Amino acid sequence: MASSAVVTANQLIIMAELKLFRTWSSRFSLRVVWALDLKGIQYDTIFEDLSNKSSLLLQYNPVYKKVPVLVHNGKPLLESLVILEYIDETWKQTPLLPEDPSERAMARFWAKFGDDKVLPSIWNVFIKQGKDQEEAIVTAQENLGCVERQLTGKKFFNGETIGLVDLAFGWLANLLSVFEEVCGVTLIDLEKFPLLLEWIQNFADAPIIKESWPPRDKLITKYQALHEVYTSKEAPK
């Protein structure tokens, strides 16, 4: 893949052993793929089958037994946002976080908001039905409203270039429309969320980012199956 990052001899040594454990669809693993690719860093990829986890994965991540795991010179790094900060601190080209401490604090705040509030609230819309789903939609759109306001006057959450918060919200640019299609609900409409829709377009089409999207048809199949599992548990309302 093309990258304009200049790689020094020192960086080649640091890169010497970099392995990423991921799955084809994991939205958290994708963040790490993007971060490494944006910085022009070479690494090996190991695709995991979560129904049959490798002994290496279990050894590297005994606490959560999940992907992504980034192993750098034999040392495992866990949790996607923690990994992103590590990558940003270790390889300085194409910075993901700003220099100013208060701006860094804002970025960390919004990345956390995305994972703690936005993602679970949208997942609730996906798995629920009837009145529960209606309530879930209200909460999800409230959360999305907070996110929408962060894009005022900006192309990306990070400003002119993609940063940590953009990578953290990256799943909105592909997975959200999959959820919407599978459960038949439109969460992000042009009237309420024009900036988010524009960001989705810009992010999805950005160089490097667009090369890594998992195949949409496979995602639809996967989430259709999951949707059936969740909605068949519910009593009809």
Partner 1 sequence: MAKNDVKLLGVWASPFVMRARISLNIKSVNYEFLEETVGSKSELLLQSNPVHKKVPVLIHGDKPICESLVIVQYIDEVWTSSPSILSADHYDRAIQRFWAAYLDDKWFPAMRRIRGAQGEERQELVDQVVEGLALLEEAFGKYSKGKAFFGGDQIGFIDIAFGSLLGWLRVTEKVGEVKLLDEAKTPGLVKWADCFCADAAVKSVMPDTEKLIEFSKFLMAKMKGAPPPKN
Contact positions toward partner 1, by CB under 8 A? 63, 72, 75, 77-79, 81-83, 85-86, 89-90, 101-102, 104-105, 108-109, 112-113, 146
- For partner 1, the closer CB: 97 or 188: 97
- Closer CB to partner 1, residue 101 or residue 184? 101
Q: Is 12 or 225 the residue whose CB approaches partner 1 more closely?
A: 12
**3-class secondary-structure state, position 236:** coil
Closest CB to partner 1 among residues 67, 178 = 67
Name the minimum Å distance from CB 196 to partner 1: 16
What amino acid occupies position 53? K
Select from 196, 180, 214 the least CA-distant residue to 47. 214
Distance CA 24, CA 218 (A): 10
Question: Least CB distance from residue 136 to partner 1, whole Å?
Answer: 15
Tokens 């199949």 belong to 221
Q: Which residues contact 232 (CB under 8 A, 6 or more apart)?
A: none
Strand residue runs (E) in the chain: 18-22, 44-47, 69-72, 75-78
Distances (CA, A) of 203 to 49, 70, 191, 235: 28, 24, 20, 39
Q: Find the shortest distance in angstroms from Cβ 104 to partner 1.
A: 7
Number of CB atoms found within 10 A of residue 125's CB:
23
Toward partner 1, which CB reaches closer, 62 or 194?
62
66 secondary structure, DSSP code:
-
Please state, as a whole number, how many other Cβ atoms lie within 10 Å of the Cβ of residue 48.
20
The nearest distance, CB 101 to partner 1, in angstroms, is 4
Q: Give the Cα separation of 200 and 205 in Å (integer).
A: 8
The residue among 86 and 213 lying less far from partner 1, judged by its C-beta, is 86
